[in-house]
């Protein structure tokens, strides 16, 4: 079993790298689908992600279903997108509002830090 510990470190590093690449790939696909206007788009997963956008907007968000795993995942990836998006007119669902929320949270955090220090 000598060297097993270093082997698991390599495995952990590889898994983290795969996760990062998978997340980046998902963010690119998510950003594309959120702004794609082509109903016949052939970009991989575009039509599936468009269906998820519709599901979240029309069914869960509009009705207020809070326990939907599809929408939970959607909100997570939306947040990741919004944290990294600087497009002033981004068409991805919820991006603009989430960015505003992040800015407000950051300002509150900075304001609290000034009061304490």
Is residue 32 a contact partner of residue 85, using CB atoms and an 8 Å limit? no
CB neighbourhood size of 96 (10 A): 16
Q: Which of 10-24, 58-72, 78-92, 101-115 holds the top average pLDDT?
A: 78-92
Query: What average pLDDT score do residues 54-83 get?
Result: 79
Residue 94 pLDDT > 80 = yes
Query: What is this structure's pTM?
Result: 0.66
- Note the Cα 104 to chain centre separation in Å: 19
Token couple for 42: 């052939």
Domain range enclosing 107: 4-116
Structural domain total, the chain: 1
CATH at residue 54: 1.20.1020.10
Is residue 98 a contact partner of residue 61, using CB atoms and an 8 Å limit? no
Q: What percent of the chain has pLDDT over 90?
A: 9
Nearest residue to 82 via CA among 65, 67, 94? 94
């Amino acid at each position: 079993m000598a060297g097993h510990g270093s082997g698991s470190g390599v495995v952990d590093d590889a898994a983290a790298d795969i996760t990062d690449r998978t997340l980046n790939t998902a963010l690119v696909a998510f950003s594309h689908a959120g702004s794609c206007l082509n109903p016949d788009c052939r970009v991989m997963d575009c039509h599936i992600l468009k269906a998820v956008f519709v599901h979240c907007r029309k069914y869960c968000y509009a009705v207020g279903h809070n326990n939907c795993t599809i929408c939970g995942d959607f909100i997570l990836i939306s947040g990741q997108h919004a944290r990294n998006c600087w497009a002033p007119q981004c068409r991805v669902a919820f991006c603009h509002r989430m960015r505003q929320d992040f800015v407000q949270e950051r300002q509150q955090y900075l304001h609290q830090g000034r009061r304490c220090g």
